Homo-oligomer: A and B are copies of this chain.
Amino acid sequence: MKIAILGFGTVGSGVYEIAKTLKNIEVKKVLEKDLMSKINIATNNYDEIINDKEIELIVECMGGLHPAYEFIMKAIQNKKSVVSANKAVIAKYLDEFLKTAKENNVEFCFEASVGGGIPCLAGIQKIHRIENIDKFYGIFNGTSNFILDNMYRFENEFFTSLKTAQKLGYAEADPSADIDGYDVTNKVIISFTLAYDGFIKNEFPCFTMKNITKEDILYFKKQSFVAKYIGEATTKGNEYEASVMLNLFPINALEANVLGNYNIITVQSHTMGEVKFYGQGAGKLPTANAIIQDILDIQAKISFNPISIEKKYTYSSNLFKHKYVIRSNEELKGNFERIDRDGNNFYHYTKEIIQADLLKLVEEKDYLVVKLNEY
């Protein structure tokens, strides 16, 4: 199969590198704005790729919303299958991409967009072809996990750990997508579609993780808890609940022991109980591997479950009750189960409350909010 790669950065060059080792995939063209790589198949003219009838499949590794959206749509409309790792554009336009791909009788695949090389979307699809999924949750972002793990193990301040992550290439110069939760939000939206056959919008609570301090980490450590940044979703009838926020895990939970920039994603269902997928959620070769897996599936016509977006779900903030811990530097009024003072911090343990009540409690305040979960 002849393919083209759009973008020749970290992931694009990784796809090129792995494809070279395989007999059945030939990279015929690479789209590169600045032609920096000097490889002889590079072009900066997308039409050259679109008009090449031999190119059956296009790998989009440009990132960002535009022109990624336009390039993906143009490829699909020209009857080329598309494989993408670009969670931002997929979380925004997945419905349109799937619909257009179906109309044009080609595939749109995106395993690499969630969990990098970890086969978690395939895992969700496989379970879902047999039964309904009760819930999924996990550490979907390596950068924020690196920071939390570094703070926990070396008792560093947030910005010290962030700088270490940046120095090691695990965090970008502008880290907001990773630490403010946009990246995890996108991955929850994408996973949700495969788990529940519906396309949801970015309308569920997302709390940043950047206001956690060394003092918080040490206080939780004393309580035998480890804070991890978790995305999750579940449904009840036609309503869904989802969130992106810090969660506390007991020190012997698997999640508590996911170190460095690794990811772990859990899928819960009736017959399987909890299945967890662990591995490198980002990086050149793991992400490229997932893209190649999609290409091989398209070649071999492997499809576990046709992806559907037919079900309509409404976000509800009163579906399920959970316990939370709210940290502020003053004692809050309210019906709490327990309030701990540690230095200048007050840790308020809520009773089991619905998301709507949590949101009322914290409003626009800069409190730290963590879920005390029952996993």
Contact = CB atoms under 8 A, between A and B. Distances in A.
Interface of A: 14, 18, 21-22, 117-119, 122-123, 126-127, 129-131, 252-254, 256-259, 270-280, 285-286, 288-289, 292-293, 296, 300, 302-304
A117 B271 contact: yes
Contacts of A122: 126
Contacts of A127: 289
Nearest to A290: B272
A282 to B, nearest CB: 11
Contacts of A293: 126, 130
A129 B22 CA distance: 9
B117 A272 contact: yes
A18 B126 contact: no
A274 B279 contact: yes
Contacts of A258: 254
B254 A257 contact: yes
B272 A286 contact: yes
A220 to B, nearest CB: 16
A289 B126 CA distance: 10
Contact of A273 (B129, B130, B277, B279): B279
- Residue from A270, A271, A288, A289 with most neighbouring chain B CB atoms (10 Å): A271
B279 A278 contact: no
A288 B271 contact: yes
20 contacts: A14-B271, A18-B131, A21-B131, A117-B273, A119-B275, A129-B296, A130-B296, A252-B257, A253-B257, A254-B258, A254-B278, A271-B286, A272-B280, A272-B286, A273-B279, A273-B286, A275-B278, A275-B279, A276-B278, A277-B278
Given A253-B257, A254-B254, A257-B254, A130 B18 contact: yes
A257 B257 CA distance: 8
A123 B271 CA distance: 20
Given A119-B123, A258-B254, A289 B303 contact: no
